[in-house]
Amino acid sequence: MGDTAASDKHALTKLVKMKALELGFAKVGITSADDFPDHAAELMQREDYQARWCGPKGTNSLLAGCYPRDLFPEGKSIICLLHAYNDIDFPEKLSKHVGRVYQNRSYVPTQEQLAGRRLQAFKDFLSNSGVNIYEGPEELPARAACFRAGIVSWGRNNFARTEENGSFITLYVLLVDADLDIDEPGRPDAEKGKCPDGCRICIDACPTQAMQESGRLEWTKCVLFNNLRGCANIDLREKVGERIHGCDVCQMVCPRNAKALAAPKRKDAFLEVLTEEFDLEKILVLDDAYYETIVKPIMYNYIRDFEIFRRNAAVALGNSGDASHLPALTRALELSEDETTRETIAWAIEKLSR
Ligand code: SF4
Ligand code: SF4
């Protein structure tokens, strides 16, 4: 590469990184558009993943994302952005029911979320700088890309993490056609981030025993997976507890998150107001107005079917141990016309009546 080309490359890299930090991302790193063979091999070992998410290379979201240049032959670099939310004072009442990343509205944000607008502002900056971004449906392996860009490591609980922010981070990765300076892969942060020998605190704390000794997640046991199905698996209903949208247990108990959790906190005024209005009994009989104002702003990612929300609320109320919810459950049982929801409510009534 000639001196001028190298200097243009350095200049654009600097601009890109400065813009990311200016927009409030906590970290930014850049890796190449090379394949992710280790991630692909791991996916291929998972029979359940293959059945549900992966077809032959190039025909599905997760596996295809391991081969960025097959998706976007012009792709030269992957820009890795990290948003941190360990400094938010998440309301305790809400955190019993909804995972912190969802309360933070930063995970796969829509254009309606502040996080989505910020990401779009960064994309607009790239476009205005003549950089093209791959916008296809396939997902690049965000954790592997951010590790290769040197901005995260990860531990046995599978969550990407940094020293400063722990695992309370959201990752965004953009495959672009710009030739940018590539960062060193995940060292030394990865070395520092390794789990202590013999630590299995997260494995033991998992309410549904979803984590194997190796750290591999049995994803159909994880609380979120069960929430997505309205807690249809009766064997796991009690273990899901009062969580209706995700679970933070394996992050909250991790000693390597202690420093990030001890950082000074600030309140999110929106969450404070939302928490005052948050009521499982209203989700039990969810209607459009309550969905739009209270549920959708923090639970927009996965669930669209109101019956799923209603069933999760029923399970959470049944697991609350608070018999004062029995009248609301009985009313909901009378109102519901959905057979599976009625069965779930009946389960909750039976549990609270013991
Ligand atoms: S998120 Fe919760 S249910 Fe899923 S592995 Fe972690 S502790 Fe277990
Ligand atoms: S709890 Fe222990 S084993 Fe689990 S991620 Fe944290 S340090 Fe690693």
Q: Which domain does 236 fall in, by range? A: 208-246+279-352
Same structural domain for residues 20 and 150?
A: yes
Same structural domain for residues 148 and 174?
A: yes
The answer to whether position 272 is within a domain reads no
Ligand 2 atom 2: residue of nearest CA: 199
Q: Ligand 2 pocket, 194 CB below 6 A?
A: no
Same structural domain for residues 184 and 324?
A: no
Both tokens of 348, joined, read: 């909750």
The answer to whether position 132 is within a domain reads yes
Q: Point out the domain boundary residue: 193, 225, 259.
A: 193
The answer to whether position 135 is within a domain reads yes
Ligand 2 atom 8: residue of nearest CA: 195
Distance CA 353, CA 32 (A): 59
Please write the tens of the pLDDT for every residue from 119-143.
999 999 999 999 999 998 888 999 9
Q: Ligand 2 pocket, 60 CB below 6 A?
A: no
Same structural domain for residues 163 and 296?
A: no
In the predicted model, residues of the chain with pLDDT beneath 50 are none
Q: Ligand 2 pocket, 200 CB below 6 A?
A: yes
Ligand that lies nearest to the alpha carbon of residue 248, given by its number in the listed order:
1
Ligand 1 atom 8: residue of nearest CA: 206
Distance CA 33, CA 36 (A): 9
Same structural domain for residues 131 and 216?
A: no
The answer to whether position 268 is within a domain reads no
109 CB-contact burial (10 Å; exposed 0-12 / middle 13-18 / buried 19+): buried
Same structural domain for residues 34 and 114?
A: yes
CA angle, corner 70, sides to 79 and 106, nearest 5?
A: 35
The answer to whether position 203 is within a domain reads no
Ramachandran assignment for 215, one of left (phi > 0), alpha (psi -120 to 50 degrees), beta (any other): left
Both tokens of 230, joined, read: 């309205």
Q: Ligand 1 pocket, 208 CB below 6 A?
A: yes
Q: How far is the CA of 98 from the centre of ligand 2 (A)?
A: 22
Cβ atoms 313, 284 nearer than 8 A: yes
Same structural domain for residues 214 and 182?
A: no
Q: How far is the CA of 296 from the centre of ligand 1 (A)?
A: 23
The answer to whether position 309 is within a domain reads yes
Q: Ligand 2 pocket, 195 CB below 6 A?
A: yes
Q: Point out the domain boundary residue: 193, 217, 233.
A: 193
Q: Ligand 2 pocket, 156 CB below 6 A?
A: yes
> What pLDDT is attached to residue 52?
61
User: Which three-class secondary structure state does DSSP give residue 352?
Assistant: helix
Same structural domain for residues 132 and 242?
A: no
Ligand 2 atom 1: residue of nearest CA: 254
Same structural domain for residues 219 and 164?
A: no
| Side-chain half-sphere CA neighbours of 248 within 13 A | 21
Residue with tokens 């959708």: 296
Cβ atoms 171, 82 nearer than 8 A: yes
> What pLDDT is attached to residue 55?
58
Total structural domains in the chain?
Answer: 2
Q: How far is the CA of 249 from the centre of ligand 2 (A)?
A: 11
Ligand 1 atom 1: residue of nearest CA: 247
Q: Point out the domain boundary residue: 160, 193, 226.
A: 193
The answer to whether position 284 is within a domain reads yes
Same structural domain for residues 180 and 288?
A: no
| Candidate of 197, 200, 248 to mutate for ligand 2, largest count of ligand atoms within 8 Å of Cβ | 200
Buried b (16+ CB within 10 A) or exposed e, 201-221: bbbeebbbebbeeeeebeeeb
Q: Ligand 2 pocket, 260 CB below 6 A?
A: no
Cβ atoms 13, 80 nearer than 8 A: no
Q: Ligand 1 pocket, 211 CB below 6 A?
A: yes
pTM, to two decimals: 0.93
Same structural domain for residues 80 and 27?
A: yes
The answer to whether position 202 is within a domain reads no
Beta bridge partners of 78: 31, 175
**Residues composing the chain:** 354
Q: How far is the CA of 2 from the centre of ligand 2 (A)?
A: 47
Same structural domain for residues 230 and 186?
A: no
